[in-house]
């Protein structure tokens, strides 16, 4: 970490999740939709994806992420970078929660180190971080060689993996906390990260996560979502993964 970033971390640390926290959507669905609209033949991945759904519990999050990313098969790096730039320009910051952008800006104005920590693919998470003005941005690493996404070593950047990676650059105090830190997330999967922060804000948390947050005195924010209920959300997910959003 550079001297400038180290000085910012001494003033404060703000850790933001992406999907469901800064933006209501699962950005993996949005990016898939973005690509499929441009190359419709890639919808063939849905047959491959559907074939593996019965084995989802066995494959786990990492395995299913490998299967889902098959829609990018045959993509070279230059084309991927074009899609990423266009995708981020369309959705960020335009589709973000205004309330959360205000909180991010407040940390930036205070000179805090701002970090975007997401489980979504790092090839677009870093561009999102750049556009939104984050100091650092981390996601799930996905390498590309020639025209093939390399996924055998994929490690999903969530839960304890976020803590491990952030701990490589941030020193924790004797009580296990990152000093002067504030975490933002919508997901119980981020509890390991939130438990390392001095303060936390939960964004549209589930009922179980709400109970945890209330018991620990965490702030709870409930910005308006772009759908009315779970059925509406499910319909949007179906449209996006089919390239019909």
Tell me the CATH number at 122.
3.40.50.1000
The structure tokens listed for 142 are 């996905």
**Residues 6+ away with beta carbon under 8 Å from 179:** 13, 173, 198
- Boundaries of domain holding 168: 3-241
Helix-, strand-, coil-residue percentages of the chain, each rounded to 5: 55, 20, 30
Predicted TM-score (pTM) above 0.85: yes
Residue 152, pLDDT score: 46
Residue 4, pLDDT score: 92
Q: How far apart are CA 19 and CA 27, in angstroms?
A: 6
Give the residue from 154, 147, 153 showing the smallest Cα distance to 73: 147
Q: What is the mean pLDDT of residues 93-121?
A: 97
Decide: helix, strand or coil at residue 51.
helix
Q: What is the mean pLDDT of residues 68-87?
A: 91
Residue 150, pLDDT score: 45
For 131, phi then psi, to 5°, come to -65, -35
Q: How far apart are CA 20 and CA 15, in angstroms?
A: 14
Q: What is the mean pLDDT of residues 202-224?
A: 97
Residue 146, pLDDT score: 52
The confidence band for 148, taking pLDDT boundaries of 50, 70 and 90, is very low
Q: Is the dihedral of CA 237, 241, 242, 245 positive or negative?
A: positive
Residue 48, pLDDT score: 85
For the chain, give the percent of residues with pLDDT over 90: 61
Give one DSSP letter per residue of 157-184, joined into a string: --THHHHHHHHTTS---TTSPEEEEEEE
| Number of domain units in the chain | 1
Query: Average pLDDT over the chain, rounded to whole?
Result: 90
The confidence band for 175, taking pLDDT boundaries of 50, 70 and 90, is confident
Residue 155, pLDDT score: 67
């Amino acid at each position: 970490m550079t001297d400038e970033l180290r000085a910012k971390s001494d003033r404060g640390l703000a850790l933001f999740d992406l999907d469901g926290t800064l933006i209501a959507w699962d950005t993996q669905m949005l990016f898939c939709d973005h690509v499929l609209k441009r190359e419709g033949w890639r919808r063939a991945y849905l047959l491959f994806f559907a074939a593996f759904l019965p084995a989802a519990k066995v494959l786990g999050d990492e395995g299913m992420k490998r299967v889902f990313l098959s829609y990018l098969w045959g993509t070279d790096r230059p084309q991927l970078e074009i899609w990423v730039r266009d995708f981020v320009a369309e959705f960020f910051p335009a589709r973000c929660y205004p309330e959360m952008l205000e909180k991010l800006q407040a940390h930036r104005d205070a000179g805090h180190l701002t970090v975007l920590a997401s489980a979504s693919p790092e090839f677009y998470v870093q561009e999102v971080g750049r556009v939104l003005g984050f100091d650092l941005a981390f996601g799930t690493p996905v390498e590309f060689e020639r025209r093939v996404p390399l996924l055998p070593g994929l490690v999903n950047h969530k839960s304890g993996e976020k803590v491990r990676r952030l701990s490589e650059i941030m020193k924790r105090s004797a009580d296990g906390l990152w000093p002067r830190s504030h975490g933002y997330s919508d997901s119980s999967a981020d509890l390991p990260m939130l438990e390392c922060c001095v303060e936390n804000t939960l964004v549209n948390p589930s009922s179980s996560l709400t109970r945890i947050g209330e018991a620990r005195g965490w702030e709870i924010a409930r910005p308006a979502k772009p759908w009315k209920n779970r059925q509406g959300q499910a319909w949007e997910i179906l449209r996006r993964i089919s390239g019909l959003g």
